[in-house]
């Protein structure tokens, strides 16, 4: 078992030890991962790091002591509301990640419904492509989860979801887009349904929030998903994904700032006086806020458009290249920088293709249904798009023949 050493080691030795440990990790700057990270270039990296360092230990719980953090946070929320359809009276909360944003949304939906309807057995209705973090939140919050299969178009089936709602449905969920396929649910229809039934409508734009508006501006067909869609109550958007900020930065935005009160904790039940928080965290890293603010201001709309263009170009090259390889197919539709490819030839074992790609240094994200390979692209993938297609082609050649290998019971796919 590890123990705190009796005597500390000099800084240089510590840093050298960390460099040595890190050498075991994947070098994500080379673009051979399509999961876990987002990277544009060294210029943005420097800005992120220096901004984070400038506030590396400031505590964002202490906004009386650090009013500058409050102003940075307010600006991040304001810029994001302007991007994502927030009107007069909209509001937002800076959180640690998509999972916390979603947790708060579900907590708010439950608390609002309880306040309005009294005793109930709350449930949430969501397409089965919604992120599993909803189920985790539901488990903690005592919500029943009703997952509804998506249609053949890989989008939420609004009629089927309506059929699963009842008087105890506190929230309806749609993704913009979902993580398994990168498809957008029909948010306007879901939000209209939620409004008719008096349910909280949450849009999970953790992936799309800072990418989809720019992909749309490039001329791609992206449906309305923003807070401005009538009936939408809240929207989660991750700055630490396509907002291109370092980790620990997400937002829960609400169309009506008054709805933030439903996820507020407030108490005086101890000796120290009143304590209140809109997040699940107490102490919050100031660096995450400063770095998010820095990334947004450094990139500007021009920078985000550049990211969107690089991603969509990479996707077009990869999808066309893979579709042209005999025995492979690309799943459609896919609206944004996420897609899945698989073997259309039943004699071709996708598990072996994945193993051959892994042997060449590509970290593979296996998709469970359908059995395939999942990619979530970020700007760096433009520089490796052609290389990836060549690697897939070699991997297919290596995998031809032999026994099938489905995802193993203990294999990590995410």
Ligand X SMILES: Cc1ncc(COP(=O)(O)O)c(C=O)c1O
Q: List interacting residues with ligand X (CB under 6 A).
A: 97-99, 131, 133, 175, 178-179, 204, 206-207, 238, 250
Token pair for 193: 């349904």
Element housing 68 (H / E) = helix 67-83
- Measured from the CB of residue 179, what is the shortest distance to ligand X in angstroms? 4
Cβ contact 107:137 at 8 Å: yes
- Measured from the CB of residue 244, what is the shortest distance to ligand X in angstroms? 14
Q: Is the peptide bond before 328 cis (omega within 30 degrees of 0)?
A: no
Sign of CA dihedral 53, 54, 59, 60: negative
The DSSP symbol for 392 reads H
- Measured from the CB of residue 207, what is the shortest distance to ligand X in angstroms? 5
**365-367 and 338-343 strand pairing:** unpaired
Q: Looking at the DSSP assignment, which residues form a beta bridge with residue 145?
A: 124
206 versus 356: smaller Cβ distance to ligand X: 206
Which of helix, strand or coil describes residue 330? Answer: strand
- Measured from the CB of residue 133, what is the shortest distance to ligand X in angstroms? 5
- Measured from the CB of residue 226, what is the shortest distance to ligand X in angstroms? 16
Q: At what angle do helices 350-359 and 385-399 cross, to 10 degrees?
A: 120
- Measured from the CB of residue 414, what is the shortest distance to ligand X in angstroms? 8
94 versus 179: smaller Cβ distance to ligand X: 179
Token pair for 258: 């008054």
Q: At what angle do helices 67-83 and 286-323 cross, to 10 degrees?
A: 30
User: What are the residue ranges of helices labelled H in 252-336?
Assistant: 286-323
Phi and psi dihedrals of 341, rounded to 5? -125, 160
190/172 Cα distance (integer angstroms): 7
- Measured from the CB of residue 126, what is the shortest distance to ligand X in angstroms? 11
Q: Which residue is nearest to ligand X (CB)?
A: 98
311/297 Cα distance (integer angstroms): 20
Euclidean distance between the first and final Cα of the chain, in Å? 28
Token pair for 180: 């398994």
130 versus 399: smaller Cβ distance to ligand X: 130
291 versus 353: smaller Cβ distance to ligand X: 291
145 versus 399: smaller Cβ distance to ligand X: 145
- Measured from the CB of residue 94, what is the shortest distance to ligand X in angstroms? 13
- Measured from the CB of residue 176, what is the shortest distance to ligand X in angstroms? 8
131 versus 352: smaller Cβ distance to ligand X: 131
401: left (phi over 0), alpha (psi -120 to 50) or beta: left
Tell me the CA distances in angstroms from 175 to 7, 148, 256, one per residue in order: 51, 13, 20
């Amino acid at each position: 078992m590890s123990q705190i050493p009796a005597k500390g080691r000099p800084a240089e030795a510590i840093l050298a030890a960390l460099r040595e440990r890190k050498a075991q990790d994947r070098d994500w700057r080379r673009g051979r991962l399509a999961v876990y990270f987002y990277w544009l270039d060294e210029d943005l990296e420097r800005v992120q790091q220096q901004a984070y360092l400038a506030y590396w230990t400031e505590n964002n719980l202490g906004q009386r002591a650090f009013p500058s953090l409050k102003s940075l946070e307010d600006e991040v929320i304001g810029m994001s509301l302007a991007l994502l359809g927030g009107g007069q009276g909209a509001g937002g909360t800076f959180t640690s990640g998509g999972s916390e944003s979603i947790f708060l949304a579900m907590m708010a939906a439950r608390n609002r419904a309880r306040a309005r309807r009294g005793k109930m057995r709350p449930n949430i209705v969501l397409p089965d492509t919604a992120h599993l973090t909803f189920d985790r939140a539901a488990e903690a919050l005592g919500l029943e989860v009703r997952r509804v299969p998506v249609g053949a178009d890989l989008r939420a089936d609004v009629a089927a979801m309506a059929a699963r709602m009842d008087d105890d449905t506190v929230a309806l969920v749609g993704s913009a887009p979902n993580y398994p396929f990168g498809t957008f649910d029909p948010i306007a229809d879901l939000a209209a349904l939620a409004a008719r039934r008096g349910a909280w409508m949450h849009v999970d734009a953790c992936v799309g929030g800072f990418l989809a508006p720019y992909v749309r501006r490039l001329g791609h067909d992206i449906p309305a998903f923003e807070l401005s869609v009538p009936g939408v109550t809240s929207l989660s958007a991750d700055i630490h994904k396509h907002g291109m900020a370092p980790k620990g930065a997400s937002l829960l935005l609400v169309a009506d700032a008054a709805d933030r009160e439903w996820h507020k904790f407030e108490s005086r039940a101890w000796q120290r006086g009143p304590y209140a928080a809109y997040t699940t965290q107490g102490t919050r890293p100031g660096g995450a806020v400063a770095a998010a603010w820095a990334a947004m201001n450094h990139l500007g709309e021009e920078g985000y458009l550049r990211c969107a263009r690089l991603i969509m170009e990479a996707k077009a090259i990869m999808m066309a290249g893979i579709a042209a390889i005999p025995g492979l197919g690309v799943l459609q539709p896919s609206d944004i920088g996420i897609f899945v490819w698989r073997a259309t030839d039943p004699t071709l074992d996708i598990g072996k293709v994945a193993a051959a790609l892994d042997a060449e240094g590509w970290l593979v994200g296996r998709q469970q249904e359908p059995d395939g390979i999942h990619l979530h692209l970020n700007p760096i993938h433009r520089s490796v798009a052609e290389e990836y297609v060549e690697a897939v082609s070699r991997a297919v050649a290596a995998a031809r023949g032999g026994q099938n290998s489905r995802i193993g019971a203990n294999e990590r796919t995410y």
